[in-house]
Amino acid sequence: MTSVQKLIGLALTILLALGIGFGGAWQVQDWRLGKEMAERIAEQGARHQKELDAITGEAWRQQSAERDKRLATEEKLARQDQKHTEELSDEKRKQAVIRDRLATSDLRLSVLLAEDPASGCNLPATSSTVGVVHAARRAQLDPAHSQRIIRITDDGDNAIIALRACQAYVRAVTPSAP
């Protein structure tokens, strides 16, 4: 072998040794950085999981609070509905008693008569045998007309009760309503 070949062989050996050294250093550095990187990624993953757990917990608390508020509103509405149903049935019972009393002539409706402006006094024109009452003159209504008047007032009472129920519902559903 010639000296040039020996020199080339030595240079190749040195280059091979340097390549192996660099490759080994590169591999050690990769293992070290890979381990550090894996630890950083694991830490980030743990922090991210904690944040997700906190967000999920808050979402569950909010959902639970909204559900509790909805259930409370539903219970309040059910109580109000029951109250208004009882009011309506009480009014219907009262109306039935009044209708029965009108039908049996136990109760008679009457209206005030206009006072005679010439007399200037609201004494009855004739005295009655029942007693002496100094009050405004009244005329009794026909029972059929009385029944019609009672039906009209019944419808009005029912409408007022229904209106109160609607207003209570709106107040319960929208807290900002007056």
Query: Do 169 and 77 contact (CB within 8 A), yes or no?
Result: yes
Report how far Cα 104 is from the mean position of its chain's Cα atoms: 49
pLDDT score of 67: 95
pLDDT, position 63: 95
Spatial separation of the C-alpha atoms in residues 99 and 152, rounded to whole Å: 12
Annotated domain spans of the chain: 3-115+136-173
Averaged pLDDT for residues 110-127: 58
Please tell me the pTM assigned to this model. Answer: 0.47
Reported as a single tens digit per residue, the pLDDT across 35-86 is 777 788 889 989 999 999 999 999 999 999 999 999 998 998 899 889 888 9
CA-to-CA distance for 16 and 22, rounded, in angstroms? 10
